[in-house]
Structure 1
Amino acid sequence: MSEKKVSLKLLVDKKGNRVLFAEADKKFVDFLFSIFTLPVGTVTRLLQKRNMAGCLHSLYNSIENLSDIYIQPDQNKDFLLNPKVVFSGAQVPLLLPSVEQSGTDSNFYRCGSSSHYSYVANDRRATCPSCRSQMTTKLSYVEFPPTDIKASSSGEGGYVKGVISYMVMDNLEVKPMSTISSITLLTKFNVRDLGAVEEKVVDLGMGEVLCLLKASLQSKTVLTDVFLRM
């Protein structure tokens, strides 16, 4: 089975040896947004790093500032910005390697008494505080959001809509792509010689994504660091 890859089009300033911005599709933006669904422990385990400094705040702010018209109707930005603890295990983002579930029992139990519904445990060996019976009656866990949800009218899934391209800045700030925005950025970066600007298409596999995730915790020039200075 071949490795999954996602393409990314970079606009590179050859003189400054820097990525001005990237033109990305839905798949890459969904991956970036899904970083916020990863528990910190999972990120640490994947990267074997403890340093959380970097530019994740830029990505966080871009999700917060992105208009709801670009978000799938069955999704809520609050799930990304304020994720709940997922007891059933991490949902691994696109392209990342599989992460083994921890040894903690992901099932939930209560005691057999119909009047003691207030107590729940994640281990059947636990004792009910009211009647001291073991918590052996298994409950059904309902995950949110459902992993198999098909409520989106577009059928695309993910977090953002795929009808347009997105602009991803060097610091991972994300915004909808537009010609005006591109021209404004060239002026902002003081790029006057268009001959010094080139397009570069890169493919992201598992290795590149892990490097990108690592750089996002350490740098404010993630795309440049990963694709021009690796």
Structure 2
Amino acid sequence: MSNSKVSMKLLIDSQANRVLFAEAGKDCVDFLFHILSLPVATIISLLNAQELVGSLPNLYKSLEGLNDTYILPDQKKDTYLKPTPPLSSLSVPLLALTAADQLHKNFYVCSECTGYVSDDPRAACPACGVLISAAATYVAPPAVEVAAEEGGLVKEVITYMVMDDLTVKPMSTISSITILNKFNIKEVGALEEKVVTLGMDEAVKLLKASLQSKKVLTDVFF
């Protein structure tokens, strides 16, 4: 698993104990926007199901625990429990971590013949009839081979403003002043800057907070 990390600079109102907004670059904004492309099952598997509000975790566990006897022969539970992420996710820091895990697949070969491979160990070799059950390892292509030249979603030429509720927009001096006026900031000396790094742990916390709070950056980093 990669140690890829991204960072953002928080502007904190120390008197109100809250994050006003964050300055973020392309890599961080790409990660935030690509959260929208994650399948529901992937989100549930990343988070602690017991801490999630609602019934979707129960649905996930129901399918996970359902005996294969009740599954159609041409279907597999992992198609729903571990859906393959978009290839574009491989070029996004942090999401590439989960995408690489999801792209790890189990393949099997016939122990008697060559040239036959299956992703189901119950399949029979069409040449000799032996089960294709000898384990093989699938190796995903490097991210650089599937990523676009620049990769991700947004352009890198500007800095972006990420609000506490994850509203994202291009950064500007006017927008910064507008935010300070909106929160009625009178003492600039009460403002603090803090650079935070998002690794996999922070990314999962951010994902969870985004489903439960309107003060995501404050809840995760302050």
Same fold (TM over 0.5): yes
Cα distance in 2 for residues equivalent to 1:47 and 1:202: 21
Percent identity between the two aligned chains = 57
Match of 2:30? Answer: 30
Confirm or deny that 1:199 pairs with 2:193: yes
Q: CA deviation at 1:49?
A: 3.2
- Provide the residue aligned with 1:174 in structure 2: 168
1:16 and 2:11 correspond: no
What do residues 101-136 of structure 1 show as CA deviations (whole Å, max 9, x unaligned)?
Answer: 499999xxxxxxxxxxxxxxx99x8xxxxxxxxxxx
Unaligned runs of 5+ in 1: 54-84, 107-121, 126-146
Q: Secondary structure at the match of 1:219?
A: coil
Q: 1:89 Cα shift?
A: 0.9
Distance 1:88 1:210 in 2: 18
Q: Relative to structure 2, which stretch is displaced further, 91-100 or 12-21? A: 91-100
Aligned equivalent of 2:84, options 86, 89, 103: 89
Q: Which has the higher helix share?
A: 2
Q: CA RMSD in A?
A: 3.3
How far residue 48 of structure 1 moved from its aligned partner, in angstroms, is 2.5
The separation in 2 between residues aligned to 1:149 and 1:103, in whole angstroms, is 16
What do residues 161-181 of structure 1 show as CA deviations (whole Å, max 9, x unaligned)? Answer: 000000000000000000000
1:185–1:40 distance in 2 versus 1, CA, 3 Å: same
CA distance, structure 1, for counterparts of residue 2 and residue 45 of structure 2 = 24
Q: Distance in 2 between matches of 1:42 and 1:2?
A: 18
Structure 2 gap segments, 5+ residues each: 55-79, 108-118, 124-143
Q: Count residues with an aligned counterpart.
A: 158
Identify the residue that residue 77 of structure 1 maps to in structure 2: none
Q: Is the 8 A contact 2:160 2:171 kept in 1?
A: yes
Question: Any runs of at least 4 consecutive aligned residues in structure 1 with deviations exceeding 6 A, and if so which?
Answer: 102-106
Give the CA deviation at 1:20. 0.1
Q: What residue in structure 1 maps to residue 210 of structure 2? A: 216
- TM-score normalised by length of structure 1: 0.59
Shift of 1:94: 2.5
TM-score (norm 2): 0.61
SS at structure 1 position matched to 2:19: strand
Letter in 2 for 1:94: P
Query: Any idea what SS the aligned residue of 1:215 has?
Result: helix
Amino acid across the alignment from 2:7: S
CA contact (8 A) 2:7 2:195 kept: yes
Equivalent-residue separation in structure 1 for 2:192 and 2:93 (angstroms): 28
The alpha-carbon deviation at position 3 of structure 1 amounts to: 1.9
Greater CA drift, 93-102 or 12-21: 93-102
* Distance in 1 of aligned mates of 2:213 and 2:33: 18
Amino acid in structure 1 at the alignment position of 2:94? L
How far 1:26 moved relative to its partner? 0.1
